[in-house]
Amino acid sequence: MRKKQLSIFLYALIIIGCGIYFYYEIHKRDNFINDLLNELKENSYKLIGLETFNQNRNYEIEYNGKYYSDSCKVISITGEKCFLTDLIRWNKLVLRYSELNCNTCIEEQIDILNLYVDSIGVDNILLFTTYDNILYLKRFKKANRIKFPIYNLTQEVNLEFADLGLPYFFVLTEYTSRINSMYIPLKEAPVLTQQYMHWILKKYFNETKCKMAI
């Protein structure tokens, strides 16, 4: 009887020990990731300058949670106008840019989007832009093999989703009519953008396949 109790005790002790070990390893890994991100953020001050870094963060604070009008209309690449609210079915990740932005900066963000297209869903990614020449926009889409729908913003909508002089991301959800989780990528620290994508995927698109199947 004592041997049986001793065996049970040792078995329980092993289980508890394994649990503590795995908890420690996961906690250590999370701490490592947090330390890495903090280090990257600190280094970004040196890479791009404190003023630029603060300006980007101020933009994010200003536009996060900002409501847009339900009457906003956008123009498809084929020239058709539609209400923005008609496009927002469930959650949409948006990349906002303009033809005045650096082509390399835009292409870098599109490359990152391509890495996540299968996880997020090609129909759940939108590109919002402002091009005076729609033919140039079509050529840009073809040259970069862009899979996502692209919409040109009308003048009034351009005020809602401002051109900040550089590309930025945000999320639109079906029932809130506001800008969520805005993020301005730092070209000097692309790993931060990938971490943003991981976070966006977990927060807004972890049920994408279920939603797409409905």
Please say whether the beta carbons of 127 and 95 come within 8 A: yes
> Is residue 204 within 8 Å of residue 93, measured between CB atoms?
yes
Cα distance between residue 133 and residue 27, in whole Å: 52
Give me the sheet containing 168-173, strands edge to edge. Answer: 81-83, 73-76, 150-153, 125-129, 91-96, 168-173, 180-183
When pLDDT is averaged across residues 72-96 and rounded to a whole number, the result is 89
Backbone angles phi, psi at 65, to 5 degrees: 85, 0
State the pTM of this model.
0.71
| pLDDT of the residue at 94 | 95
Residue showing tokens 């003023």: 51
- Letter string b/e over residues 106-122, b meaning 16 or more CB atoms within 10 A of that residue's CB: bebbbebbbebeeebbe
Measuring CA to CA, how many Å separate 60 from each of 53, 63, 127, 168, 211? 11, 5, 18, 9, 29
**Residues near 83 by beta carbon (within 8 Å), at least 6 away in sequence:** 70, 71, 72, 73
**How much is the pLDDT for 29?**
42
| Average pLDDT over every residue of 57-65 | 82
Summary mean pLDDT of the chain? 77
N-to-C CA span, the chain: 57
Task: Report whether pLDDT(22) > 70.
Answer: no
- Among the residue ranges 10-24, 88-102, 165-179, the one predicted with the least confidence is 10-24
